[in-house]
Structure 1
Amino acid sequence: MNGASGARQQDLVRALLARHGETYAAQSGITLRNTPQPLYQLAVLADLLSTRIRASIAVATLRALRDAGLGTPRRMLDATWQQRVDALGAGGYRRYDEGTATRLGEGAELLLDRYGGDLRRMRETADGDADALRRMLQELPGVGPTGSAIFLREVQGVWPEYAPFLDPKAVQGAERLGLPDDPGKLARLVPAGRAAAFASALVRVALDPTLAEEVRAAATR
């Protein structure tokens, strides 16, 4: 659906960002910077969000893992399996806690062995190639195509060579709002420095169709 005029599109974008322009990383308490610890926490969050579970539970679980001291690959690996299970359960991630506890330990070990626990080394290896980065991310247990897309959506704020990154879920949200469904045209609507927030807001609309009407109504005021 591409019928909205240029002025109407800008009104929709402003309303969307004003109401839902918070990244999932920010919602989970991650102050995203190009440093190892927040980047690792974002990778864990991408894993949690890619499971068939409410985003609010994934966000709460990332907070619980961090509160339990499991915010770095080394601490995640050094924790016992039961400590990981307990932290996941504290965040409400109970249906998938046992398998996820195993994956998080394996993923931390892979990151430490291959990249010294520093995702910036993965970035260097990818050298601006989004497909290459997604392939490397998907080597982490639990981070499949959905998880790698989530990571890129969120990290584009600090790794600008990947901005604007608008995956099919974000485009689905744009369609519901009457914004362009062509990623290239949609990318031209991204305000400077707000690519990650814009993508996250569109995903929220895709996940909750009621938000589309709310944003459309707000854009007419």
Structure 2
Amino acid sequence: MGDDRTTARILLERQGRTYAQEAGIGLADRPGPLYQLLVLTTLLSTRIRASVAVAAARELFAAGCRTPQAMEATGWQERVDALGRGHYRRYDERTATMLGTGARLCLDRWHGDLRRLHREGGGNPTALRRLLTEFPGIGPTGADIFLREVQAVWPDVRPYADRRALAGAQRLGLPANPRGLAGLVPEGEFGRFASALVRVALGEESAGEVNRTVATATAR
């Protein structure tokens, strides 16, 4: 357990940023940031590199698409152009359409406030996953991404570790279950930890480098 805690600490030091933070989202339990996370989740849900999805999200936000009202008011071509500036070109037209449709659903069903979705789901991950997959472009994997990131501000979802986070844990020789992983970091840090584990699973962080750093630290 001691070495596992050291591994978790070093991983957080090396990769302790969520994808929401990387996209410039100041995540909070408020309508705007929660919607921005939904946009990022939609972009991350396609077969495209995470770095490209993050860049595209930043371009959409720079174009003013930070609320469902603004997303809907932005023209389809403007959304396509913003996605293109983020090099999100393979799926740009279809995604621009889905973002517009999703914005309308958010407004119609949740009055633009995903805290209402949270309340309807009762903080239950299974119920929340089902509700999230009603948005166009968000399937089970996308719902997992949203819940993994949002647990930073929805504590009743914690500890949430999706398939990719657990795969990263396995590469590092850490417990391959959410409860076991949760015991390695302070409660409020689990969202960052889960994102860091995903980076290991995706090859954005080297499991070998982390383990070598841990070996050096524990040998002192």
Is the structural similarity TM-score above 0.5? yes
Does the CA contact (< 8 Å) of 1:110 and 1:140 recur in 2? yes
What are the ranges of 5 or more consecutive residues in structure 2 without an aligned counterpart? Answer: none
Residue identity opposite 1:185 in structure 2: G
Please tell me whether residue 49 in structure 1 is matched to residue 44 in structure 2: yes
Deviations 1:112-152 (A, max 9, x none): 00111110010111111111111111000001111110000
- Is the contact made by 1:50 and 1:143 (CA closer than 8 Å) also made in structure 2? yes
| Pairing 1:18-167 to 2, within 5 Å after superposition | 18-167=13-162
Cα drift, residue 188 of structure 1: 2.0
Using the alignment, how far apart are the partners of 1:62 and 1:162 within structure 2?
24
Q: What is the rounded CA distance, in whole Å, between the counterparts of 1:121 and 1:178 in structure 2? A: 38
What amino acid does structure 1 have at the position aligned with 2:95? T
- State the shift of 1:210 in Å: 5.7
Query: Moved runs in structure 1, 4+ residues, more than 2 A?
Result: none
Do 2:15 and 2:205's aligned partners in 1 also have CA atoms closer than 8 Å? no
- What is the identity, as a one-letter code, of the residue corresponding to 1:94? R
1:16 pairs with 2:11:
yes
Matched, 1:200 2:195: yes
Q: For 1:164 and 1:183, how far apart are their aligned partners in 2?
A: 6
Q: TM-score, normalised by structure 1?
A: 0.95
Q: After superposition, what is the alpha-carbon deviation per residue over 1:62-101, rounded to whole angstroms, capped at 9, x for unaligned?
A: 1000011111100111111111101111111000000000
Alpha-carbon distance in 1 for matches of 2:93, 2:202: 26
- Structure 1: runs of 5+ lacking an equivalent: 1-5
Assess if the C-alpha contact under 8 Å between 1:14 and 1:219 holds in 2.
no
What is the CA distance between 1:209 and its match in structure 2? 7.3
TM-score when normalising by structure 2: 0.95
CA shift, 1:186, in A, is 2.1
SS in structure 2 at match of 1:193: helix
Distance in 2 separating the partners of 1:120 and 1:127 = 10
| d(CA) in 1 for partners of 2:109, 2:19 | 27
